[in-house]
Amino acid sequence: MLPRAYKSSISRYLGSTVSAISLVRSSSKLPLRSRLCFPRQFKMAQSTASAFSLDTPVQRPSTDITLTGNHVTIVGLKASHASDIFAAMGGPENASLFNYLWQGPFLREEEVVEQFSKLQESKDPVWYAIVSNKTSKAIGYCSLMRIEPQHHVVEVGSISYSPLLQRTVGATEAMYLLARYVFEDLGYRRYEWKCDSQNAPSRRAADRLGFEFEGLFRQHMIVRGKNRDTTWFSMLDREWPEKKTALVNWLDASNFDEEGIQKRTLQSFR
């Protein structure tokens, strides 16, 4: 059974306490961890937040994982991914992809190898490659950073998508897989997303994925010699069941036509 806070959240979402309680009872039959083939008839996923004690630090993210979806797979970033990443997003023609990132642009493959050789050893951030299931090549990378196991808080950041990954189902699936890992496998209670306030695509992505806007930190950082105001978003463990269900339902193959065009937006499932 879900904690009272979850019932209240479900109730507000549905507009009926009776409906919420009925839904919680029906969801108790679900496995703790749903797959991408999560049945569409269920409207709420079961939370695993109560399985982790607030008195005990949670595990740190690991690179020794394989998170497999229908379109992409997330694995620990290695220097061996450099060739794929340079082919997908290297060169001067892709320089704009790095406008809001501290690393890049990469004009030579050797630069990527050198950078990734360092990143694969990092303990915070912890870096991951996003690999296409169709080609088995890395087409993007990202990290879990500012890791605070004692407080059960972690941030997803430095999300770098090549043109092969941008605005694809795999782009959304990658963020779903990582969020599921953070909340369900590791037990974090707060999942953060921060970006340059001028980075409109990142702000839209955070909102679309279900992160909640929290505010603006003015002159928060200096990036590439310029002041950066930082926009903060977060997702909490008690919110994850609803967010997860929306993501799973949107990712379901039945939500796309023969040409791969979505029938319903992600927001419409929330």
With respect to residue 162, please indicate whether it lies within any of the assigned structural domains. Answer: yes
Confidence band, pLDDT 50/70/90 cuts, at residue 24: very low
242 vs 41, residue with greater confidence:
242
Please say if the pLDDT value at position 198 is more than 80.
yes
Domain with 107 in it: 48-237
With respect to residue 5, please indicate whether it lies within any of the assigned structural domains. Answer: no
pLDDT at residue 225, as a whole number: 86
Please say if the pLDDT value at position 31 is more than 60.
no
User: What is the number of helices (H) and of strands (E) in the chain?
Assistant: 7, 8
Residues contacting 30, CB < 8 A, separation 6+: 42, 45, 46
With respect to residue 167, please indicate whether it lies within any of the assigned structural domains. Answer: yes
With respect to residue 268, please indicate whether it lies within any of the assigned structural domains. Answer: no
pLDDT at residue 224, as a whole number: 85
CATH code at 127? 3.40.630.30
Confidence band, pLDDT 50/70/90 cuts, at residue 28: very low
β-partners of residue 74 are 67, 130
pLDDT at residue 18, as a whole number: 36
With respect to residue 31, please indicate whether it lies within any of the assigned structural domains. Answer: no
Please say if the pLDDT value at position 96 is more than 90.
yes
Containing 190, the helix (H) or strand (E) segment is strand 190-196
User: Is the CB of residue 182 less than 8 Å from the CB of residue 144?
Assistant: yes
Confidence band, pLDDT 50/70/90 cuts, at residue 146: very high
- Coil vs helix vs strand at 177: helix
Name the residue type at position 243.
K
Domain count, the chain: 1
With respect to residue 215, please indicate whether it lies within any of the assigned structural domains. Answer: yes
Residue 135 class from Cβ within 10 Å (0-12 exposed, 13-18 middle, 19+ buried)?
exposed
pLDDT at residue 17, as a whole number: 37
With respect to residue 246, please indicate whether it lies within any of the assigned structural domains. Answer: no
Confidence band, pLDDT 50/70/90 cuts, at residue 52: confident
Torsion of CA 97, 139, 121, 157, to 10 degrees: 50
pTM of the model: 0.81
pLDDT at residue 89, as a whole number: 98
pLDDT at residue 142, as a whole number: 98
Confidence band, pLDDT 50/70/90 cuts, at residue 223: confident
Residues contacting 17, CB < 8 A, separation 6+: 7, 11
User: Is the CB of residue 84 less than 8 Å from the CB of residue 137?
Assistant: yes
Please report, rounded to a whole number, the percentage of residues in the chain having pLDDT higher than 90.
78
With respect to residue 131, please indicate whether it lies within any of the assigned structural domains. Answer: yes
A 10 A CB-CB count for 163 gives: 14
The structure tokens listed for 199 are: 């980075």
